Amino acid sequence: MVGGGYAIIAMFAYLRPPLKERLTPAQWPGVALVLGGVMVIAVQSPSDAATTP
């Protein structure tokens, strides 16, 4: 989830006008790739519940 933090912070800063964060059209695919990668890793990782006796 550490990688997802970067994307979440970028989107939060963009959505808050007082922060005046600007993302270029080229940066949005990067944010999407980071979130997609986090989701792929989360889905492929074994859950802790399945390994707990």
C-alpha distance from residue 32 to each of 5, 25, 35, 52 (Å): 12, 12, 5, 33
| pLDDT of amino acid 53 | 57
Summarised one tens digit per residue, pLDDT across range 1-53 is 677 788 788 888 888 888 777 888 888 898 889 888 888 888 887 766 555 55
Domains of the chain, residue spans? 2-45
The pair of three-digit structure tokens given for residue 21, joined into one six-digit string: 């964060």
d(CA 53, CA 50): 8
What SS3 class is residue 12? helix
The pTM for the full model equals 0.63
